[in-house]
Structure 1
Amino acid sequence: MSTVGLVGLGAMGRGMAGSLRRKGYPLRVCDARAGVAQDFAREGGVACATPAEAAAGCAVLVSVVVNSAQTEEVLFGEHGAAASMAPGSVFVMCSTVDPAWSACMEGRLADLGLLYLDAPISGGAARAASGEITVMAAGAAAAFDRAGPILDAMAAKVYRLGDQAGAGSKVKVINQLLAGVHIAAAAEAMALGLREGVDAAALYEVITHSAGNSWMFENRMPHVLAADYTPLSAVDIFVKDLGLVLDLARASKFPLPLSSTAHQMFMQASSAGHGKEDDSAVIKIFPGIELPRRGG
C-alpha cells in the first residue's frame, strides 16, 4: 500500500487517521499541538514534527485543518509540505473553505507538478472514528485515481462532484448552511421550551420522535442537557462557515435570510465569550432561561 501522510489530528482528523491505520496503510502524521502526533503513533504510524516531514515519501497527503489560512501554512509555511511532495503526488484538502480559493490552490499546485483534490468532509467525530464520513470531492481524474482508495478507506460515501476544484467546496458550504441553521433553530426551540417551563429531557424525547426532529437537534441538544460544552465543533467554526455561505451568495446577490440570522446568532455567542465552546452553546444568547447544570 502507498504511504499516506495526514496533517491535523483534531476531532475529525484523528478518526480519519485511525481508519487508515486499521486498513493497513503505512501512515505519517503531524499536528501543530505538542505531543498529539506522538500520542497517536503509539498504536501505529510515524509521528512527524512538520508537514514537510509528514509529506516526505507519501503518494497522498491529507490535510484536515480548520481553514484556508492553516492549509496555506501546511503547504507553504516555513516547514511546508509542498517542497517535499514528489511530482504527481496528491494533496487532499478536507477543510471548509471559499470555493474560489480552492480552485486557485489547484492551479498553484499544478504549477509545481502536484495533483489536488478539493475534498471537504462531513459526519462528525464519531463517524470519522468509524470510517463513515462523507467526502464531497472534485478534481482531476488522475487525482481521484491515486487518492480514491484512500478516500474510500476513510469514508462511507465519496461523492465525485466534478473534474475541477471548487465544486466540492460549494457543496460543503451549502451543507454548512443547513447545519448552522439547524443548530440555531434547535437551540431556539430548546430555549423556548426552557422559558415555558417544559422539562428539557422530556422535550428532547418528544422532539426526537416527532416530525420536528433534525439530525442537529438530536446530536447537539444532549450537550445542552448535560451542560457539557466541550467543543467537538465550536461556535467560532460556524462564525467562519456561515460567513463563507454568505460570501458565496453575496457574489451573485442571492438572498439568504435564514443563514444571515443564524450567522448573527453565532456571532453574538462568540462576542459573549463562547466562541471556543461547542456550537450548541449558541443557546446561551437567549435571555431569561435557566440552562441545565452538570449533574442536575
Structure 2
Amino acid sequence: MASHLSRDGFAVKGFDISENARTSFGENGGRSFSSAVDAAAGVGVLMLMVVNIAQAHQALFEGGALANSAEDCIVVLMSTCPPGDVEALARDVNAQGRRFLDAPVSGGVAGARKASLSIMVAGDRSSYDECHNLFEVLGSKIYFLGERPGQASVAKAVNQLLCGVHLAAAAEALALAERAGLDTATVLEIVSGSAAASWMLNDRGQRMLQNDPEVTSAVDIFVKDLGIVLSAGSSAKAALPLASVAHQFFLAASGQGAGLADDSQVIRAYRNMTAGKREEKK
C-alpha cells in the first residue's frame, strides 16, 4: 500500500517491524525508518495498518509516533478492530489535538497488491475529503459511512461475518464431498458454477484441496475478526449464531496447529472431526 502511494507521487515515509518489508519499501521508492516515531516525524497523514488495536496504541502513544507528527495530523486506522476500541482510540487521538479516521479495508493481500481494496471510512467529513486522493490510490471502492469513528468498523464486521461464514460453509461442503469419496476437484467445479457459489468458495476452494497452500490470509486472522464480529453483535444486542459456529471452527483449526496456515485450511477442523476410517458400504 505504501509503495503504491510512493509510486503515485506522494512523499511516503514508512516503518514496519519486518526488516524485509522496510527493504522492499525502500526499493520501491519509499523512505523507510527503523522506528515508528522517526517515520512519523512531521507527517500530515499517519496511516496505520497493524494487527490489532493494541499495536495501534503502542505505535501512536508508547512508540511516540503521534506526538512526533504534525500538529494537525490525520491518523487513519486501516486495520480491522473492535468498533468500541476504535471509538476510544479516536478520543485519545483527538485529545492530543490530532484528527482521526476509522478506515478498515477489505480485499486482503491480493487487493493491497492490485490497489483494488474496498475502503470503508468514518470520521470528520473534512478529514475524509483531505484523504480521499490517498484512498483512490489504494482502493477501487471507497465508502463514507458517517462522521462517528467506529461506524466503518461495524461495516467491516458485517463484511467479515459473511466472509467467515461463507468460508466455513465452503470448507464444510468440500469436507463432505471428500468424506463421501467424491472427486473434490470435480465437486468444486460443479458448485463454483452453480447457485451455490460464493466469492469465498471461488477464491479459497482450490486452496482447500492443497496440503500447504500459499498464505494470503491466516486462520488466526479469522479467529480475531470473527471475535470482533461477535463483540460487535454483543454491543448491538444482535444474535449471531452462524458467526459463532464459524468462529468455533476457526478456533479449532488454530488449536490443532493451523493458526498460521492459509485461512482455507479451516477445512482441517472438519476433517479432524471425522478422521476415523469410513465404514465399508454393504
Tell me the TM-score normalised to structure 1 length: 0.88
Secondary structure of residue in 2 paired with 1:230: coil
* Aligned residue number for residue 39 of structure 1: 24
Counterpart check, 1:165 vs 2:168: no
Aligned structure 1 segments of 4 or more residues deviating by more than 6 angstroms: none
Kept after mapping to 1: 8 A contact 2:100/2:123: yes
Q: CA RMSD in A?
A: 1.5
Counterpart check, 1:74 vs 2:59: yes
Counterpart check, 1:56 vs 2:41: yes
Q: Determine the C-alpha separation between the residues in 1 that align with 2:28 and 2:156.
A: 32
* Aligned residue number for residue 93 of structure 1: 77
Deviations 1:122-155 (A, max 9, x none): 0122221121100110000231132111111111
Q: Displacement, 1:35?
A: 3.3
More helix by share: 2
Q: Determine the C-alpha separation between the residues in 2 that align with 1:228 and 1:205.
A: 21
Q: Determine the C-alpha separation between the residues in 2 that align with 1:22 and 1:34.
A: 20
Counterpart check, 1:184 vs 2:171: no
* Aligned residue number for residue 178 of structure 2: 194
* Aligned residue number for residue 50 of structure 2: 65
Unaligned runs of 5+ in 1: 1-15, 291-296
Kept after mapping to 2: 8 A contact 1:140/1:164: yes
Q: Determine the C-alpha separation between the residues in 1 that align with 2:131 and 2:43.
A: 11
Kept after mapping to 1: 8 A contact 2:3/2:28: no
Q: Determine the C-alpha separation between the residues in 1 that align with 2:151 and 2:141.
A: 16
What amino acid maps onto 2:109 in structure 1? A
What amino acid maps onto 2:40 in structure 1? A
Distance 1:80 1:232, change over 3 A: farther
Q: Determine the C-alpha separation between the residues in 1 that align with 2:153 and 2:265.
A: 26
What amino acid maps onto 1:104 in structure 2? A
Q: Determine the C-alpha separation between the residues in 2 that align with 1:273 and 1:225.
A: 18
Q: Determine the C-alpha separation between the residues in 2 that align with 1:277 and 1:73.
A: 27
* Aligned residue number for residue 4 of structure 2: 19
Match of residue 110, structure 2, among 126, 136, 150: 126
What amino acid maps onto 2:144 in structure 1? R
* Aligned residue number for residue 101 of structure 2: 117
Kept after mapping to 2: 8 A contact 1:18/1:129: no
Deviations 1:183-207 (A, max 9, x none): 1001001101111122121122111
Match of residue 194, structure 2, among 210, 214, 217: 210
* Aligned residue number for residue 241 of structure 2: 257
Q: How many residues align?
A: 274
Kept after mapping to 1: 8 A contact 2:217/2:262: yes
Q: Determine the C-alpha separation between the residues in 2 that align with 1:126 and 1:243.
A: 23
Q: Displacement, 1:260?
A: 0.8
Kept after mapping to 2: 8 A contact 1:90/1:146: no
Kept after mapping to 2: 8 A contact 1:55/1:61: yes
Kept after mapping to 2: 8 A contact 1:19/1:130: no
Query: Equivalent pairs: percent with the same residue?
Result: 40
* Aligned residue number for residue 30 of structure 1: 15
Q: Determine the C-alpha separation between the residues in 2 that align with 1:169 and 1:147.
A: 18
Q: Determine the C-alpha separation between the residues in 1 that align with 2:248 and 2:102.
A: 28
Q: Determine the C-alpha separation between the residues in 2 that align with 1:220 and 1:131.
A: 20
Q: Determine the C-alpha separation between the residues in 2 that align with 1:141 and 1:253.
A: 29
Q: Displacement, 1:289?
A: 6.1
